[in-house]
Structure 1
Amino acid sequence: MFCYRGCEHEIYLLIAAAGSSSRMGAAAGGANKVYADLNGAPVLFHSLDKFDRMSFIDAAVAVIAQRDEAAFDSMMKSAPEYLVRARGAKPLNMPVHKTPGGMVRSESVLNGLLKISSLVRNPVNAAVVIHDGARPNFSEAAFKAAAEAYFEAFAGGGRYAGLVMASPSYDTLCRVDAAGFIKGYEDRDKIYKVVTPQIFNLKILLECFDRHLKTAGSAPAAFTDESSLAVHFGYEVKIFKSPSDNLKITTVEDLEYLKAVIK
């Protein structure tokens, strides 16, 4: 439960971990990169540990590929061993459930949302945190502040659906044509890179998926994340500045970098 101005709100975690990790290859041991070793524990477990330590997550749902089920079960079985190293043997407090992923990310997220909807007690005010399993270096302090900002904005009513972590872009950004010629530049002061964690009202997000399914007949694969889906259906989504080192592991080099950063 997340307590905001004396009121308790259910808040659930959805970790997207059903990717193929094609660019990681053998570095992930032949499995999904989220099970690759990162200083003594799988990449995915670092995120579970961080969210659990915040103490306000009611339950977590990990969306996993069927081929990775054995790796996930092995990770959870070894959780006490990982936790001894991380925090002196204190157990995970939040229940961790698993549900199968889909063919594309949006299908996986929808499966996770449906699993969460079966756990929630008050769907009207419940919130869901969506996080990439391959982003173990997010800031706990920044996300706690983001969760507070989410509930403050949601209390204001209107068409507010959620809040996403995002980092400013410091690079020069250009638009190009099909041949690769520059045709214009973007104002980087107004450009942010959207990352995770992201937090949404569960009921609103399920409504957006349902509306898309009714019109398109399939999960919204064209939307690269849930904020773009919510905005498409007329809802407002705010950003909350994320530290720039919230890296998503994509390559072997990313993993090696985080081994040096995460202790």
Structure 2
Amino acid sequence: MNKYAIIVAGGSGSRMKSDLPKQFIEIGGYPVLMHTLIRFKEADPSIELILVLPEIQIKFWEDLCEKHDFAVAHQLVKGGKTRFQSGKNGLAAIRKDGIVAIHDGVRPFVSPEIIRESFVVAAAKGTAVVSVPSKDSVRVDGHAIDRESVRLIQTPQTFQVSIIKKAFQSPELSTFTDDASVAEHAGFEINLIEGSYENIKITTPEDLEWAEIILKRNA
């Protein structure tokens, strides 16, 4: 079975209040994005890594790889104007059938165990989307809803290649918030698997503080 991982990183750093895009900010001595790629190689060295970056960031990334002597093999793909278009560009780089995990480049703490489980479940059921229960009370339009029914969606979101490629043939809609929503719109069932609260998405300065704590705890 061919295994692929599309790592999408298109952040600008605006919410991070930084001139440096968040995927390139260093934690533990390496850019966030390098930690993410390493996690997938640790999970399964046979996974073919496809990194989707804005074209204007590719040279900067290549320079970072040289600076840090980063040797994890990956294919670079130019991103699109939107997250949907970037995902579609990443999928276009896959020529054979198999299983593909699509992951946020700024989620560097996904565990190898979660990655491996996502491939197993997607191979058996077609889709596997990582999620965790909500810790907080939830209200929609001012009305309380049962917290037990709420799941917070993470990545990776893993699919049989044939399924997600078919789903991405749909025109882009504003309701597409992630790859799972694209697949669901195309009529495919979404299977949720257990994630981890440690699998944070680094978006704001506070997230960087949590990232350093996680690194120290796992050292």
TM-score using structure 1 length:
0.77
Aligned length: 216
Q: Give the SS at the match of 1:98.
A: strand
How many angstroms does 1:114 deviate by?
A: 0.6
Tell me, in whole angstroms, the C-alpha distance in 1 between the residues paired with 2:47 and 2:41: 9
Asked if structure 2 preserves the Cα contact closer than 8 Å seen for 1:44 and 1:136, the reply is: yes
Asked if structure 1 preserves the Cα contact closer than 8 Å seen for 2:16 and 2:203, the reply is: yes
Q: Please point out which of 125, 147, 152 is paired with 1:193.
A: 152
Per-residue CA deviation, residues 50-84 of structure 1 (Å, 9 max, x unaligned), is 1112234431111101221122112322353x6xx
How many angstroms does 1:250 deviate by?
A: 0.8
Tell me, in whole angstroms, the C-alpha distance in 1 between the residues paired with 2:173 and 2:12: 19
- Tell me if 1:62 matches 2:51: yes
Q: Give the SS at the match of 1:246.
A: coil
**2:26 matched residue in structure 1:** 37
Q: Give the SS at the match of 1:116.
A: coil
Please tell me whether Structure 1 or Structure 2 has the larger radius of gyration of its CA atoms: 1
How many angstroms does 1:135 deviate by?
A: 0.5
How many angstroms does 1:221 deviate by?
A: 4.2
- Tell me if 1:165 matches 2:122: no
Q: Please point out which of 96, 100, 105 is paired with 1:128.
A: 100
Q: Which runs of 5+ in 1 are unaligned?
A: 1-8, 83-90, 155-160, 177-181, 214-218
- Tell me if 1:257 matches 2:210: yes
Tell me, in whole angstroms, the C-alpha distance in 1 between the residues paired with 2:33 and 2:157: 17
**1:21 matched residue in structure 2:** 13
How many angstroms does 1:150 deviate by?
A: 2.5
Tell me, in whole angstroms, the C-alpha distance in 1 between the residues paired with 2:36 and 2:135: 27
**1:229 matched residue in structure 2:** 182
Tell me, in whole angstroms, the C-alpha distance in 1 between the residues paired with 2:7 and 2:24: 13
Asked if structure 1 preserves the Cα contact closer than 8 Å seen for 2:40 and 2:47, the reply is: no
Q: Give the SS at the match of 1:248.
A: coil
Per-residue CA deviation, residues 21-57 of structure 1 (Å, 9 max, x unaligned), is 211133xxx2311000011100000011111122344
**1:158 matched residue in structure 2:** none
- Tell me if 1:239 matches 2:192: yes
Q: What RMSD, in angstroms, separates the aligned Cα atoms of the two structures?
A: 1.7
Tell me, in whole angstroms, the C-alpha distance in 1 between the residues paired with 2:198 and 2:44: 24
Asked if structure 1 preserves the Cα contact closer than 8 Å seen for 2:7 and 2:105, the reply is: yes
**1:216 matched residue in structure 2:** none
Q: Give the SS at the match of 1:167.
A: strand
TM-score using structure 2 length:
0.92
Q: Please point out which of 118, 129, 134 is paired with 1:146.
A: 118
Tell me, in whole angstroms, the C-alpha distance in 1 between the residues paired with 2:45 and 2:119: 10
How many angstroms does 1:12 deviate by?
A: 0.5
